[in-house]
Amino acid sequence: RTRGPAVQHRDYLSRSRRWGEMTEPLLASSVVGGDPVAPPLEPLAAEGEAAGAAVAPAPAAAEATADAPPAYSFKAFAMELGLGRFVAALEAADLLGNYVDTCESPLTLFAPSDEAFSRLGDLPIDLQVLRELLCVHITLGSLSHAELLNTRSITTISQQTHHVVLADDGQKVLQVGSASLERTDVQLPDGRGVLHVIDSVMCCIRLLQNCRYEQVWNKTVRPSPKVGLAGEWRKSQDELHAILIHCDTWQPRFQGLRGSVVPLGVGGPAGGEKAHKSFQATKNTFQDGTVHFTELLILEKPPEMSKKKRKKPEDNLADGSMSQQPALDGNQSSNYRIMFSLYRRFEPADGAAPAVDP
């Protein structure tokens, strides 16, 4: 059955900027990735100070400078671990000296092995895409293996969220996003965080074409959303889902969209596999790392727009009936968001056909 979501990314149908937690199986909020904000560099001298002040250090200060430990270098540390390609990618994206080496907060780095980078092939040529790809491998704060086991999701510095799960494949390997941990709890020097070596380059989800703020119920979403993928995914197992989320309650409506599932294999599901019903009747495409939801349709009429008189909560208690939907506040809007999420399908142990329900 589908386990996930592995990683997720959301675009907003409304202008709301509210943040919060969503109910299972959805994760915390995530937004379009962007340039990480590197900590500002402290000036050596305040503006307006005399140019001739402290031309040469005092003898004691010079002696202290000579005895000071060398500046922290993640490059030297990672090269000793055999992570040369990860270092080269950080340098190419200008994230090594301007962020990893200088960040004042401890970091958790998910470093793909050199073998994972070899399997990926050439890195993205576009600098912005490369930065976003690498930023989904970095989180603020130091998260050990034990701490990851006790959380359901983590959010990276690019605001993409990764689902954290212990893979039920007999080996009990911890999976973060689309990657599995090969080596864990490598402590960075001077309390600068922790590093985990992973078996693949995590998948980065990027919104390429947004839809309009106002949409019509029972009509296809216009313009049709385009989502770009970078990194590594499994062609025979991974799917990109679009899910409708209520802005105020954060309640997902899994049946609210049609044409909302796109398998990431070339030409759809692998040979002999049954396609998801949401994929069969659509012309959604996946080509060159871009998913185009050409026939994404708002299928369900939001209950907030219904003209029927709703029962009050006390009426439900009086007649003994309870509505399946939570009581809606009169101030709640009928605005929804679309969340894009990467799902991974797993083959059942008995060899039966895999289920694809989220």
Report percent pLDDT > 90 for the chain.
46
- Whether the pLDDT of residue 249 is over 70: the answer is yes
Three-state SS at 136: coil
- Whether the pLDDT of residue 213 is over 50: the answer is yes
Q: Which residue has the higher pLDDT, 96 or 213?
A: 96
Angle value at C-alpha 293, between 226 and 205, nearest 5 degrees: 45
Mean pLDDT of 209-237: 90
Render the burial of 182-206: b for 16+ CB within 10 Å, e for the rest.
beeebebeeebbbbbbbbbbbbbbb
Report percent pLDDT > 70 for the chain.
62
**Per-residue confidence band for 101, with pLDDT thresholds at 50, 70 and 90:** very high
pLDDT in tens, 46-56: 333 433 444 44
Q: Which residue has the higher pLDDT, 157 or 299?
A: 157
Mean pLDDT of 133-138: 96
pLDDT in tens, 144-178: 999 999 999 999 999 999 999 987 766 778 999 99
pLDDT of residue 3: 45
pLDDT of residue 1: 39
Q: Which residue has the higher pLDDT, 136 or 216?
A: 136
Residue type, 353: A
Q: For residues 158 and 8, what is the distance between their CA atoms, to the nearest angstrom?
A: 12
Residue whose tokens read 């909020």? 29
- Whether the pLDDT of residue 214 is over 70: the answer is yes
Q: For residues 39 and 102, what is the distance between their CA atoms, to the nearest angstrom?
A: 7
In order, the DSSP letters of 289-332 are TEEE-TT-EE-SPPGGG--SPPPPHHHHHHHT---SSPPPPTT-
Handedness of CA 238, 355, 207, 218 (dihedral sign): positive
pLDDT in tens, 171-204: 778 999 999 999 999 999 999 999 999 999 999 9
Contact 245, 338 (CB under 8 A): yes
Across 25-34, 137-146, 148-157, 341-350, least confident range: 25-34
Q: For residues 192 and 106, what is the distance between their CA atoms, to the nearest angstrom?
A: 5
- Whether the pLDDT of residue 356 is over 70: the answer is no
Contact 8, 339 (CB under 8 A): yes
What one-character DSSP code corresponds to residue 220?
Answer: B
